[in-house]
Amino acid sequence: MSDEPLPAGVERRTIGGRERLATRGEPVYGEPTDGEWRAWDPSRSKLGAMIDLGMDVGLEGGERTLYLGAAAGTTVGHVADFAGPTYAVEFAPRPMRELLGVAADRDRLFPLLKDARRPETYAHVVESDLDLLVQDVATRGQAAVAVRNARFLGDDGRLLLAIKARSEDVTADPEAVFSDVRSRLSDAYRILEDRRLEPHHDDHLGIVATPR
């Protein structure tokens, strides 16, 4: 847990007898609450871990956002609590059904059943010049996905990327994987900060970057 200032729309609140990250919104999946505030568990959210560890994610509230790898909506639900229009891309139909339930209480959250590796299939829906690209896609070629989707970010936009080493190569040393990812990102992004996400997530790297 870091003492760094939190992004706008995120607070540390005592919920269930201990201090937790929280956003103001409708609870999902039975998470603990404090009035209008719902707990944000960093052990279930890579972005939550980045914030809890004090990375400078640069969120000020109201960001127009593209979220890749939305799954059942745990993290993107928190993002939509404080961001602006949030496009949530998920490839698998089963978690998409759950994501639709999260979106039902959030009029700024727009689920898209699409493949993040093929941004051309949703370019007609997602606006350009976005403020924020959040990516948590557990597949080989995570850097390539981020590069392909850079087209949606404005010049001052920001990439918040979680890299899972085992999704790239289960046999490789994680640090070697992370070094390769940094290199592959370099043509499209300037990395501002990166950090391992332990103790919340083993063999994961959080990256904050901006388009070149």
Residue 138, annotated ligand binder?
yes
91 annotated as belonging to a binding site for a ligand = yes
Q: Is 203 annotated as a binding residue?
A: no
14 labeled binding residue: no
Contact 157, 133 (CB under 8 A): yes
Confirm whether residue 116 is marked as ligand binding.
Answer: yes
Contact 206, 49 (CB under 8 A): yes
* CA-angle at 32, arms to 111 and 20, nearest 5°: 95
Q: Dmax of the chain from CA atoms? A: 46
Q: Is 210 annotated as a binding residue?
A: no
The response to whether 75 counts as a known ligand-binding position is: yes
115 labelled binding-site residue: yes
Residues within the annotated binding site for S-adenosyl-L-methionine? Answer: 74-75, 90-91, 115-116, 136-139
Residues within the annotated binding site? Answer: 74-75, 90-91, 115-116, 136-139
